[in-house]
Amino acid sequence: MSAVTKAGPATPAGSARPLAKARPLGDRAFALLALVAGLLVLVILVLIVVSTAQQSTSWFSTAGWSGIFSTVWNPATNQFGAMAFLYGTVIVSLIAIIISVPASVSIALLLTEVVPRRWAQPIVYVVDLLAVVPSVVWGLWGIIIFVPWVAPIYASIASGVHGIPVLDSLFGSPTAGASFFTAGLILAVMITPIITSLSREVIATVPQTDKEGAYALGATRWEMIRGAVWPHSQGGVVGAILVGLGRAMGETIAVALVAGSSAEVTSHLFAPGYPIAGVIVNQFPEASGEFRAALIGLGLLLFVITILVNLTARGFVERSARRMRGTS
């Protein structure tokens, strides 16, 4: 309002000149405030790296490369090797991805291509409920209900595959209810909503003309999905899977409760394991000195891995988005 009165009758009508020379102070202050809030994201990300690196330097310097990547973790003797935990994180999240991806992509296709639009929304709500159940509740259910229930099943599978070359080393004994596989299963359920919703967004961008073209050529729905939808959304779905992988690696409490808490590198999926996030939350409260530095260092390691996975994921999504613009 004030700008109008300031300009006065001297400004000719239709002039492109700004009406007021200086923007009011409040306006500039608000712009600055918004900029600061935006920059906060970058500040936090930088501070995460700086502060955790600073607090864990003593681990990195005393342990050295060989110490960090050793499999020995023994706080009593000040030996802090991260290898068993890295292995645990990778195996558990791979299991989660292998189980979750077919289900998530199927549900995404169901929502976009099969179900009529007004049914799709309720299904989305239901799948999203999985994400609303807190991690700690999955962990509680996992440790009290699921682990005792599944333990005899693992044991009978183990005795069933006994002596068969590859299967024996994957699914053979030793077995325990709280294991790599249990953690992977629970993670799979937890990351299904995110993979589903991201894949659905990608699949929804497939041009209607491509789909109708496939149908016009006499394709069945499945052939249409394989021929028109899949080539189009491949890249984006890979991005969605990677975002899910990042989530699985960072998920903490459920895994801390059901993975079995045993720092071991073993090919046996039914044996207890120990992912990075789990060891941090379980041991941090009683850690100090070098021990604490090692746990913070593990956190930094986890941060770097998940950031790399997320950056790659965004790269895939960007690239597929660009290709989509090219074709449509």
Partner 1 sequence: MSVVSDQTVDLREPTNWRRTKNRIATVVMWVAFVATLVPLILVLYTVVSKGIGAISWQFLSGSPIPPNIMPLGTGGMGPAVVGTLIITGFAALISIPLGVLGAVYINEYGGKGWLAKFIAFMADVMTGVPSIVMGLFIFTIWVLHFGYSGLAGSFALACLMLPIVIRSTYEMLLLVPNHLREASYALGATKSRVTLTVVLPAAVGGIVSGALLAVARAAGETAPLVLVILTVEATNTNLFSGANTALSTQIFVNAQSPYVGAEARAWGAALTLIVISFLLMIIARVVTARFTRYTR
DSSP string, 72-123: -EEGGGTEE--HHHHHHHHHHHHHHHHHHHHHHHHHHHIIIIIS-HHHHHHH
- Residue that is written with structure tokens 């894949």 in the block: 199
Neighbours of 62 (CB within 10 A): 13
DSSP 260: B
Tokens representing 246 are: 């990042």
Q: Fill in the per-residue mask, 27 to 66: x = in contact with partner 1 (CB under 8 A), - = not in contact.
A: x-xxx-xxxxxxxxxx-xx-xx--xx-xx-----------
Q: Which tokens hold the place of 283?
A: 């041991």
Among 220, 267, 289, 322, binds partner 1 (CB under 8 A): 220
Least Cβ distance, residue 82 to partner 1 (angstroms)? 15
Cβ-based nearer residue to partner 1, 60 or 284:
284
Q: Are the C-beta atoms of 224 and 211 separated by less than 8 Å?
A: yes
Q: For residues 60 and 303, which CB has a smaller minimum distance to partner 1 in the complex?
A: 303
90 binds partner 1 (CB under 8 A): no
Told to check if 153 binds partner 1 by CB under 8 A, we report no
Instruction: Give least dist CB 278 to partner 1, A.
Output: 9
Distance, in Å, from the CA atom of 198 to the CA atom of 167, rounded to the nearest integer, reads 34
Closer Cβ to partner 1, 221 or 319, answer by number? 221
Helix/strand/coil for 313? helix
Q: Which of 179, 182, 233, 310 binds partner 1 (CB under 8 A)?
A: 310
Angle of helix 83-109 relative to helix 276-283, nearest 10 degrees?
A: 120
The residue within the footprint of partner 1, chosen from 134, 148, 152, 289 (CB under 8 A), is 134
According to the binding rule CB under 8 A, does residue 157 interact with partner 1?
Answer: no
Q: Compare residues 211 and 268 and give the one whose CB is closer to partner 1.
A: 211
Grouping H, G, I as helix, E, B as strand and the rest as coil, residue 273 is strand
Q: How far from the centroid of its chain's Cα atoms is residue 165's Cα?
A: 33
For the bound state, the minimum distance from the C-beta of residue 273 to partner 1, rounded and expressed in Å, comes to: 17
Q: What mask, x for binding partner 1 by CB under 8 A, covers residues 183 to 212?
A: ------x--x-----------------x--
The DSSP secondary structure of 10-37, one letter per residue, reads TSPTT--S-SSSSPPHHHHHHHHHHHHH
Residue 310 half-sphere exposure, CB side, CA atoms within 13 Å? 11
Instruction: Please list every residue from 66 through 85 that binds partner 1, using CB under 8 A.
Output: none
Q: Does 24 bind partner 1 (CB under 8 A)?
A: yes
Cβ count within 10 A of residue 189: 17
Binding mask 109-128 for partner 1 (x = CB under 8 A): xx---x--------x-xxxx
Residue 151 touches partner 1, criterion: CB under 8 A = no
Closest to partner 1 by CB, 138 or 172: 138
Q: Applying CB under 8 A, what is the total number of residues that bind partner 1?
A: 104
Contact between 321 and partner 1 by CB under 8 A: the answer reads: no
Q: Which amino acid is at 15?
A: S
Interface residues for partner 1 in 267-296 (CB under 8 A)?
277, 280-281, 284-285, 295-296
